[in-house]
Amino acid sequence: SKDESGFAAPPLVSRGVAVVAVGYDTAPRGHMDAMVLQVRRSLAFLVRRYPGSRGLYLCGHSAGAHLAAMVLATDWTEYGVVPDIKGAVLVSGVYDLEPILHTYVNDALSMSREVAQRNSPMLCVPPAAPTSCEVLVAVAQHDSPEFRRQSQEYGQALRAAGWSVSLLDLAGVDHFDIIEKLSEESYVLTQVGEGLPSAL
């Protein structure tokens, strides 16, 4: 939940960056289509609420990286705004939902193949936007082979579509501490965030 995501804020806030932790309805209450829609609407709300923003940066871990990647694939014409997304840090994400269909994870999600396909960032990579958006796809050395495979393939798919992409394979961390260490000033992903100009 957004209440558990505040640990990453202090190093960024100390540099004048406004940090927004977006909440969404998780399964089984939330359906995958609804989760993606909620996060997209949140971005549209932020653009309207802070019209003087100098750009937005997305960051998500695991399911959050999936949702941030779906934001990158958004057709904004139906939202009436176009967020100025300057960059995205996608950490140990899920970019192809089809492998989940026959696992216990889908017990709560109840996804059909169609739902999984239309909500898989790997299957809906848009051409790169005219404005520059830097995407960092990070994966942990001790992530599962599936997380590592999907990170590599999604990064390649973005690059093939003209996006500016960097892939970061972080040594000595697993699926959980790759994001938990964001509270540490000296951590490499914290330094990536601190290298961003003040956004909102």
Dist CA 88 CA 90 (whole Å): 6
- The phi and psi torsions of 101 (rounded to 5 degrees) equal -55, -35
Catalytic residue among 5, 66, 120, 143: 143
Catalytic residue among 5, 62, 92, 120: 62
Angle, helices 63-72/32-49, rounded to nearest 10 degrees? 60
DSSP helix/strand/coil, 38: helix
Catalytic (active site) residue 175: yes
Q: Which residues lie below 8 Å from residue 182, measured CB to CB, with a gap of 6+?
A: 7, 8, 11, 189, 190, 193
Residue 156 CA: distances (Å) to CA of 73, 80, 109, 125, 127:
15, 30, 27, 11, 13
Catalytic residue among 31, 53, 175, 183: 175
Dmax over CA atoms of the chain, in Å, equals: 45
Which residues are tagged catalytic? 62, 143, 175
